């Protein structure tokens, strides 16, 4: 049996991607004209917040695909080999969105608008006691340097992992010894990625990019929470591509068993996200210290003050916890293409909302900005991910057929 | 098409030597059926003596009150709650191995799950002692159970994480026990069928619950395992999460921090795996089970140790960073002056914790170290020393200097009966473990057989031909077609 190894992006596929990007670009332009170009600082900040939200969210989501690869590599996983080229292709988007996000972050940091990052305000930086105290971490140079380093490191290590995978396509491994050496080599590079990942996504980067919007507030859980949110969305994106390729008669060796396991990942990490959400929320609620509760009062309100974000907050909680819990629990729903596609889309949207409520109550505490614009901006990034992933999928065979573990994946059953 | 039993030859075998099903039964039953060795007797008696000393220490405390311990007004929790958290943490590896690794279909769990589950149960038993005897008037211990009573307004406090502990740990203990015992049933039946002495036949006969090995039994057994695995998985997380709530719901600097729940769970798995290593490195040698608990198993568990140790490390650094970043002077004082400052009264304990838990496990990045038994054994002890100090640091360094400097105390030293109580739980733990290793198979016979033809040395050697097939040929021969 021969298989269709070469993905060719159809005209329709690329057309949709370009159309989405165009729509998105229009939304960005519209947002700039109506908000970003105005003299009012809050209006400007609303424009930049939309860009920050979408670029950072989608960057972390596509980077989660590389985390998936490296984690399964370190764990010597075999089951994912049948569709391993899919997360590889998604991770190829990291340098592209990374560049965009990097530019946006640096513009916000060094620009004249300080509504998003209050600590960048030169006056406040000298007068606010907390900012003076935190200046060792919250300063523009460190922000810029660490941001650039992070994005370059993710891109380079991701590129290296993809190279290692492609290397085998023309040159099969000769012997068992060569295979062991190859697996070992992969393990070393994957470990490097994981170390960088833990020093960035699981610690410093969410503090810098997101938590510093509420610069007086702090939570040790914040970065792990952000990681959980973006990882489960990343798995959802991988699942969507697997389903898409299956529906177009690619990935012959990927079957319901693999889909089932991806479903389990979406289920398990949705619960894990909820666990972190609950731990953070409950502990802050329980000990009830004003310097901590302020964060949630802005988002859900309290008896003294309503929050305009309460609806979004609880909606995203339902989408991200109750829906996966109830819908993905059954075995049959994880093996059903329609259900799994619906859930993947829902999860991607739910965590997009999660990031929304993490960012917007900072620059816009009194009202929820017109969210339709943000949907528009999201379309730009969705189109971009589609376009670049499509190109990357076409660049290499869809099966890493010479990998030592690929046969295990073919006979995988859950 | 029949499912092919195949795994890549790149993976080292999980059962070494030229084994068939019968040989597996023989090898694992041998220590149970043979007379206990002199080494076993020595170990057992030492454990029993330690246990006796523990009973004496507890008796002293019950007769004369908790004043027998050197706890004071500021340090209301000292060694006892440290020990409680330490033992609960150790009791996490077993259920992680049996439940979460079962869900992840990890073949290597079969070599170690039985002993790890037993260890879990014993560790939880030890842990439970501390809050019970810490109550002082222990005869009122049943007050923690909420049931209709005649005590009027005297009622449990549902708002308190300490009460949640009661529920979490008793649930965990029950489910772990069920899991362990239901896994034992087929093996107990094997022992029953092989038994020659009358008492052994009777004992294993009753214990095996009439297991016959029929297809129906196996079917129910498999279903039950999955259900229990599904139940235990959230329990692994919940128990130490709730233990962490004991601290994190408070407003004590160094205790109230949102990362506590996942970081406690990671630390618990870390120390649990270390204890599994301590026990299995010795067990495999003494009982001659090196072909079933292979160097590969040790290697994999050391990987878990370096992973969880590093997660804990990230959490330590996050806490330290956030104590500074928060700009809360009390929080920063607790970390800077009470912990990091080596010259402070308990500063040394912080650095022991850092050294043992974060720095030293990093040597397991090296394969040679992971596969070295002496290093593994030494490290497993070091990790558990570190994890004990983690709890000591959290408890003592946070409360010996609280908000009121006039109440500061620096003279906390455990009394002989506090230490004796702790030593006694070692006695309890090892007495149980020695009895377990004598009367029950320390490796799950049935589960080893389940992976034998896929991961056994002999069978893997026979897969060379498949290994050399191209992926297309392989797929034509062995691929299965569900939902393609």
Q: What is the pLDDT of residues B34-72, one digit of tens each?
A: 999 899 999 999 999 999 999 999 999 999 988 899 887
Count of CB pairs separated by less than 8 Å, A with B: 135
Q: How confident is the model at residue A414 (pLDDT cuts 50, 70, 90)?
A: confident
Beta strands in B97-254 (DSSP E): none
B241: contact with A, CB 8 A cutoff:
yes
Q: At what angle do helices A371-395 and A337-359 cross, to 10 degrees?
A: 130
What pLDDT digit, counting tens, does each position of A352-364 carry? 999 999 999 999 9
- Cβ–Cβ under 8 Å, residues B10 and A179: yes
- The distance in angstroms from the start CA to the end CA of chain B is 15
Q: Which residues of A touch B365 (CB under 8 A)?
A: 191
- Cβ–Cβ under 8 Å, residues A114 and A124: yes
What is the DSSP annotation of B327-368? T-HHHHHHHIIIII-TTSTTHHHHHHHHIIIIIGGGGGGSHH
B12: contact with A, CB 8 A cutoff:
no
Residue A24 in this model has a pLDDT that exceeds 60: yes
Q: Give the pLDDT of chain B (484 residues) as one tens digit per residue.
A: 445 678 888 999 999 988 999 999 999 999 999 999 899 999 999 999 999 999 999 999 999 988 899 887 788 888 889 999 999 999 988 888 888 888 888 889 998 999 999 999 999 999 999 999 998 889 988 888 888 888 877 788 899 999 999 999 999 999 999 999 999 999 999 999 999 999 999 999 999 999 999 999 999 999 998 899 888 888 888 999 999 999 999 999 999 999 999 999 999 999 999 999 999 999 999 898 999 999 999 999 999 999 999 999 999 999 999 999 999 999 999 999 999 999 999 999 999 999 999 999 999 999 999 999 999 999 999 999 999 999 999 999 998 988 888 888 777 788 999 999 999 999 999 999 999 999 999 999 999 998 998 899 988 888 888 888 888 888 888 765 544 4
Which pLDDT value is given to residue B70?
86
Residues sharing a CB contact under 8 Å with residue B381, sequence separation 6 or more, in sequence order: B274, B278
Q: Which residues of B touch A191 (CB under 8 A)?
A: 365
B261–chain A nearest CA distance, Å: 7
- Cβ–Cβ under 8 Å, residues B444 and B183: yes
How far apart are the C-alpha atoms of A408 and A359, rounded to whole Å?
43
In degrees and rounded to multiples of 5, residue B6 shows phi and psi of: -150, 140
B464–chain A nearest CA distance, Å: 9
How far apart are the C-alpha atoms of B2 and A399, rounded to whole Å?
24
B475: contact with A, CB 8 A cutoff:
yes
Verify whether the Cβ–Cβ distance B471 to A198 is below 8 Å. no
In degrees and rounded to multiples of 5, residue B456 shows phi and psi of: -70, 145
What are the structure tokens assigned to B102, written together? 């079962």
Q: Which residues of B touch A223 (CB under 8 A)?
A: 318
Verify whether the Cβ–Cβ distance B483 to A2 is below 8 Å. no
B337: contact with A, CB 8 A cutoff:
no
- Return left, alpha or beta for B51; rule: phi > 0 is left, psi -120 to 50 is alpha, else beta: alpha
What pLDDT digit, counting tens, does each position of A298-340 carry? 999 999 989 999 999 999 999 999 999 999 999 999 999 999 9
ipTM of this complex prediction, to 2 decimal places: 0.94
Q: Which of B471, B473, B476 to mutate to test the interface with A (most CBs of A within 10 A)?
A: B471
Nearest CA in chain B to A336: B483
Which pLDDT value is given to residue B89?
94
What are the structure tokens assigned to A321, written together? 């916890």
Nearest to B422 by CA among B61, B161, B173: B61
Long-range contacts of A26-33 (CB under 8 A, 24+ apart): A26/A376, A27/A373, A27/A375, A27/A376, A27/A377, A27/A379, A27/A380, A28/A376, A28/A377, A28/A380, A30/A373, A30/A376, A31/A373, A31/A376, A31/A377
Residues sharing a CB contact under 8 Å with residue A112, sequence separation 6 or more, in sequence order: none
What are the structure tokens assigned to B219, written together? 């079917």
DSSP, collapsed to helix, strand or coil, labels residue A216 as coil
| Comparison of pLDDT for A131 and B474, the residue scoring more | A131
How far apart are the C-alpha atoms of B363 and B379, rounded to whole Å?
9
Q: Which residues of B touch A134 (CB under 8 A)?
A: 325, 327
Residues pairing with B456 in the sheet = B15
DSSP, collapsed to helix, strand or coil, labels residue A258 as helix
How far apart are the C-alpha atoms of B286 and B227, rounded to whole Å?
34
Which pLDDT value is given to residue B480?
58
What are the structure tokens assigned to A19, written together? 């159309």
| CA triple A288-A291-A294, angle to 5 deg | 80
Give the DSSP letter of residue A365: S
Which pLDDT value is given to residue A411?
87
Q: What is the mean pLDDT of chain A?
A: 94
Which pLDDT value is given to residue B407?
83
How large is the average pLDDT for residues A108-130?
Answer: 94
Q: How confident is the model at residue A196 (pLDDT cuts 50, 70, 90)?
A: very high
B438–chain A nearest CA distance, Å: 34
B450–chain A nearest CA distance, Å: 15
A262–chain B nearest CA distance, Å: 12
Verify whether the Cβ–Cβ distance B10 to A179 is below 8 Å. yes
- The rounded Cα B304 to chain-centroid distance in angstroms is 13
Q: Which residues of A touch B476 (CB under 8 A)?
A: 1
Query: DSSP H helical segments within A128-255, as ranges?
Result: 129-134, 140-170, 176-199, 205-209, 222-247
Spell B265-304 as b/e; 16+ CB within 10 A means b.
bbbbbbbbbbbbbbbbbebbeebebebbbbbbbbbbbbbb
Verify whether the Cβ–Cβ distance B474 to A198 is below 8 Å. no
In degrees and rounded to multiples of 5, residue B5 shows phi and psi of: -90, 105
B351: contact with A, CB 8 A cutoff:
no
Which pLDDT value is given to residue B402?
82
What pLDDT digit, counting tens, does each position of A154-183 carry? 999 999 999 999 999 888 888 889 999 999
Verify whether the Cβ–Cβ distance A78 to B7 is below 8 Å. yes
Q: At what angle do helices B445-455 and B109-134 cross, to 10 degrees?
A: 150
Verify whether the Cβ–Cβ distance A221 to B262 is below 8 Å. yes
Verify whether the Cβ–Cβ distance A179 to B475 is below 8 Å. no
Which pLDDT value is given to residue B97?
82
* Boundaries of every domain in chain A: 11-410
Q: Which of B105, B162, B262, B325 to mutate to test the interface with A (most CBs of A within 10 A)?
A: B325
Residues sharing a CB contact under 8 Å with residue B173, sequence separation 6 or more, in sequence order: B121, B124, B125, B128
Give me the domains of chain B, ranges plus CATH numbers: 21-137+158-455 (1.20.1630.10)
CA A188 vs CA A56, A153, A159, B299, B349: distances in Å: 28, 15, 14, 16, 34
Q: Which residues of A touch B310 (CB under 8 A)?
A: 198
DSSP, collapsed to helix, strand or coil, labels residue B290 as coil
Cα torsion at A408, A413, B1, B3 (round to 10°)? 60
How far apart are the C-alpha atoms of B307 and A187, rounded to whole Å?
14
Nearest to A411 by CA among B28, B416, B454: B454
Nearest to A316 by CA among A192, A209, A225, A407: A225
């Amino acid at each position: 049996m021969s298989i269709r190894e070469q993905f060719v992006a159809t005209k329709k596929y690329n057309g949709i991607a370009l159309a989405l990007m165009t729509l998105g670009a229009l939304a960005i332009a519209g947002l700039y004209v109506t908000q970003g170009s105005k003299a009012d600082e809050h209006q400007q900040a609303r424009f930049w917040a939309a860009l920050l939200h979408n670029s950072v969210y989608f960057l972390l989501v596509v980077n989660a695909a590389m985390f998936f690869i490296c984690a399964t590599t370190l764990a010597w996983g075999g089951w994912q080999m049948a569709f391993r080229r899919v997360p590889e292709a998604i991770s190829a988007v990291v340098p592209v969105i990374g560049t965009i996000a990097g530019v946006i972050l640096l513009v916000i940091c060094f620009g004249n608008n300080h509504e998003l990052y209050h600590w960048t305000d030169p006056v406040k930086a000298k007068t606010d006691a907390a900012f003076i105290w935190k200046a060792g971490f919250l300063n523009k140079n460190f922000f810029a340097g660490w941001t650039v380093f992070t994005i370059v490191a993710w891109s380079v290590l991701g590129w290296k992992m993809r190279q290692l995978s492609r290397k085998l396509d023309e040159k099969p491994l000769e012997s068992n010894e060569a295979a062991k050496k190859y697996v070992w080599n992969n393990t070393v590079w994957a470990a490097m990625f994981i170390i960088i990942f833990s020093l960035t996504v699981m610690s410093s980067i969410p503090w810098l990019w997101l938590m510093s919007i509420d610069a007086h507030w702090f939570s040790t859980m914040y970065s792990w929470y952000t990681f959980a949110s973006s990882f489960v969305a990343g798995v959802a994106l991988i699942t969507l591509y697997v389903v898409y390729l299956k529906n177009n008669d690619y990935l012959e060796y990927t079957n319901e068993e693999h889909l089932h396991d991806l479903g389990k990942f979406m289920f398990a990490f949705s619960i894990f996200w909820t666990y972190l959400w609950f731990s953070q929320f409950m502990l802050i609620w329980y000990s009830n210290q004003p310097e901590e509760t302020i964060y949630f009062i802005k988002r859900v309100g309290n008896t003294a003050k309503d929050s305009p974000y309460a609806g979004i907050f609880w909606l995203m909680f339902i989408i991200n916890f109750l829906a996966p819990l109830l819908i993905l629990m059954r075995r049959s729903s994880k093996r059903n293409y329609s259900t799994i596609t619906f859930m993947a889309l829902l999860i991607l949207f739910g965590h997009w909302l999660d990031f929304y409520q993490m960012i917007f109550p900072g620059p816009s505490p009194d009202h929820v900005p017109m969210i339709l614009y943000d949907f528009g901006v999201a379309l730009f990034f969705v189109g971009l991910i589609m376009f670049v992933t499509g190109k990357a999928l076409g660049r290499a065979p869809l099966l890493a057929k010479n990998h030592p573990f690929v046969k295990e994946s073919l006979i995988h059953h859950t | 098409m029949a499912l092919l039993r195949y795994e890549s030859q790149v993976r080292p075998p999980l059962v070494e030597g030229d084994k068939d099903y019968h040989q597996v039964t023989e090898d694992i039953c041998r220590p149970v059926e043979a007379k206990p060795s002199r080494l076993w007797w020595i170990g057992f008696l030492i454990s029993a003596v330690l246990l006796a000393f523990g009973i004496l220490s507890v008796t002293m405390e019950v007769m004369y009150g908790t004043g027998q311990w050197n706890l004071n007004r500021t340090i209301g929790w000292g060694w006892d709650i440290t020990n409680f958290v330490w033992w609960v943490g150790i009791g996490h590896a077993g259920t992680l191995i049996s439940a979460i690794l079962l869900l992840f279909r990890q073949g290597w769990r079969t070599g170690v799950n039985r002993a790890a589950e037993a260890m879990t149960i014993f560790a939880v038993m030890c842990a439970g002692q501390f809050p019970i005897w810490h109550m002082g008037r222990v005869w009122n211990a049943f007050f923690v159970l909420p049931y209709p009573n005649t005590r009027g307004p005297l009622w449990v406090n549902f708002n308190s994480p300490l009460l949640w502990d009661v529920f979490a740990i008793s649930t965990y203990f029950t489910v772990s026990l069920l899991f362990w015992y239901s896994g034992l049933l087929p093996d107990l039946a094997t022992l029953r069928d092989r038994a020659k002495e009358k008492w052994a036949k009777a004992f294993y006969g009753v214990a095996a619950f009439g297991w016959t090995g029929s297809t129906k039994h196996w079917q129910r057994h498999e279903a039950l395992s999955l259900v229990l695995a599904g139940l235990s998985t959230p329990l692994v997380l919940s128990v130490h999460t709730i233990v962490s709530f004991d601290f994190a719901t408070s407003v004590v600097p160094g205790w109230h921090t949102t990362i506590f729940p996942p970081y406690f769970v990671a630390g618990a798995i870390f120390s649990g795996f270390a204890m599994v290593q301590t026990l299995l490195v010795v067990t495999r040698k003494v009982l001659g089970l090196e072909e079933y608990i292979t160097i590969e198993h040790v290697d994999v568990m050391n990987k878990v140790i370096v992973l969880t140790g590093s997660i804990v490390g990230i959490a330590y650094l996050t806490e330290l960073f956030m104590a500074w970043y928060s700009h809360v002077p009390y929080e920063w004082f607790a970390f800077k002056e009470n912990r990091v400052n080596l010259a402070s009264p308990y500063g040394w304990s912080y650095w022991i914790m850092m050294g043992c838990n974060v720095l030293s496990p990093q040597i397991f990045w090296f394969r040679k170290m992971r596969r070295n038994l002496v290093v593994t054994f030494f490290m497993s002890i070091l990790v558990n020393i570190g994890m004990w100090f983690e709890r000591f640091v959290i408890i003592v360094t946070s409360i010996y200097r609280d908000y009121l400097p006039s109440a500061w105390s620096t003279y906390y030293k455990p009394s002989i009966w506090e230490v004796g109580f702790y030593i006694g739980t070692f006695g309890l733990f090892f007495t149980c473990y020695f009895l377990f290793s004598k009367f029950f198979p320390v490796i799950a016979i049935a589960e080893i057989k389940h992976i034998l033809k896929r991961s056994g040395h002999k069978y893997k050697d026979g897969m060379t031909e498949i290994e050399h097939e191209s992926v297309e040929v392989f797929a034509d021969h062995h691929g299965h077609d569900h939902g393609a």
